[in-house]
Homo-oligomer: A and B are copies of this chain.
């Protein structure tokens, strides 16, 4: 049986999961693939550090990633260092040497994906990255292979487990964000500095990679509109539930009607314009995405042929990520066994005329929570502004208060372009009875 020699760069959380899974399921993988994996080299930052798993017996342990990655007997390199500095250097060196590379590094792909894909193509090396987005959910394979015969018209993702955990507990317990966050940090579900998660930036990286794969052109993170979850309050959760909705941090990729200017000029088949955003979003409580709770992630994909599909699982953590890495190891091993280098290239730019349109053009319904002084005439003035902006009100919800007190005022607003909505909101905020920080969340009806 052919042996595939691995160099693992990094033996932290995910590396440990991969080492443990290879140890546990080595014979199973060999029986299924006809290939035996051997961890030949492990590059670590500190070889003397105590670990909660055993490094593979027979592996050369080194602090020199380059020596591990480029050792002559190595067939396949697995980058699990994380970060975008050394990881980038290592990925580039491996691909430039024509060696296949598996990576679980979302930040690396988000920042340098286009360059790494080009490098891989130039040197006939392949790059596998199932574990980079949504951990144990095989969304990369689904978009690249299973849905290859579809135009993806809608993609909605719950892509950050930390945010979903916090929102789930806020919804269940009526707790406020700071309290749940502190708990999540104690439990290891949130980082000491939670900005990357709570600010929506982690989901932004993932949404960008998924949009790129679905639409066949590289989407820069900078073109993705991002709002995090820190503006969501317990009253928002309560009012949303009363209105029949859940609030989720949703990565959204939508096709817009009409081709891009370049697409039109070149009369391309594709040339589609898309919008990509990450925002707290109200979704109907009965929708399957609303039942995605706790640290789970899910990606809902609508294809023009297949219709609606959904993929659900743990989006992070040692084992879920290790499972995805093993699936890439298997793909890479089969390619090595068959002697094919680019059966499925790392990235196929199948729509060179695609473009990301500004979020301002997106139409949606909205949930708007304002902080108003409870006195006669306030609603009339707000309604007048909305009417002038041609934004219809579908319902108004004002909890009982006493005159003169600050109370929340909830408005559910009909379908309007985001730009018009923001202009109206700016006018509303100038009203003297309106104070505080409003919450404006799109309402997604999956129509």
Contact = CB atoms under 8 A, between A and B. Distances in A.
Nearest to A29: B149
B311 A311 contact: yes
Contact of A290 (B148, B291, B306, B343): B291
Given A31-B216, A148-B32, A291-B290, A136 B309 contact: yes
Contact of A33 (B148, B305, B319, B323): B148
B291 A148 contact: no
A14 B99 CA distance: 41
Nearest to A269: B27
Interface string A271-305: 00000000000000011101110001010000111
Interface string A130-157: 1000001110011001111111000000
A136 B150 CA distance: 11
Given A338-B338, A338-B340, A146 B310 contact: no
A349 to B, nearest CB: 9
B303 A308 contact: no
A326 interface: yes
Nearest to A135: B306
Contacts of A269: 27-28, 31
A348 B31 contact: yes
Interface stretch (A327-335, A357-365, A366-374): A327-335
Contacts of A343: 334-335, 337-338, 340, 343
B311 A306 contact: no
A288 B309 contact: no
Nearest to A138: B146
A384 interface: no
Nearest to A17: B305
A319 B334 contact: no
A164 to B, nearest CB: 13
23 contacts: A21-B305, A28-B269, A28-B270, A31-B351, A32-B148, A130-B146, A138-B142, A138-B145, A138-B147, A147-B323, A149-B322, A290-B291, A305-B326, A306-B320, A307-B317, A309-B314, A310-B310, A310-B312, A310-B313, A312-B312, A334-B343, A335-B343, A340-B340
Given A25-B149, A31-B269, 16 more contacts: A25-B150, A145-B327, A145-B331, A146-B324, A148-B326, A149-B330, A305-B319, A305-B320, A307-B317, A309-B311, A309-B313, A310-B310, A310-B312, A312-B312, A337-B343, A340-B340
